[in-house]
């Protein structure tokens, strides 16, 4: 039996949450981000995609080769 690891997605914080609503700041923390330039590798699930969509103006998806 082979187990395939779930797909990964890497996000990088590009902007500061200063002046943003507290729920957007909490979403960044939930994604494992707290400083500009930090990267976090997460499982590619609908929940994570939704979190990324909520703070899309503060993060970018990093292409991994």
| Torsion (CA) 49, 28, 60, 54 in degrees, nearest 10 | 50
Establish if 2 belongs to a structural domain: no
Model confidence pLDDT, tens digit, residues 4-31: 777 899 999 999 999 999 999 999 999 9
Report the chain's mean pLDDT, rounded to a whole number.
92
pLDDT at 8: 92
Establish if 45 belongs to a structural domain: yes
| Cβ atoms within 10 Å of 28's Cβ, excluding its own | 24
Establish if 42 belongs to a structural domain: yes
Q: For residue 54, what is the domain's CATH number?
A: 3.30.1390.20
**CB within 8 A of 28, min separation 6: which ones?**
13, 17, 34, 55, 58, 59
Instruction: Show the domain range for 31.
Output: 8-62
Establish if 32 belongs to a structural domain: yes
Say what the pTM is. Answer: 0.85
Establish if 3 belongs to a structural domain: no
Establish if 23 belongs to a structural domain: yes
Total number of domains in the chain: 1
């Amino acid at each position: 039996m082979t187990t395939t690891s779930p797909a990964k997605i890497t996000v990088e914080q590009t902007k500061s949450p200063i002046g943003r609503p507290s729920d957007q700041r909490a979403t960044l923390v939930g994604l494992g981000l707290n400083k500009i330039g930090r990267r976090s590798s997460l499982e590619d699930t609908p929940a994570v995609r939704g979190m990324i969509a909520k703070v899309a103006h503060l993060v970018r998806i990093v292409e991994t080769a």
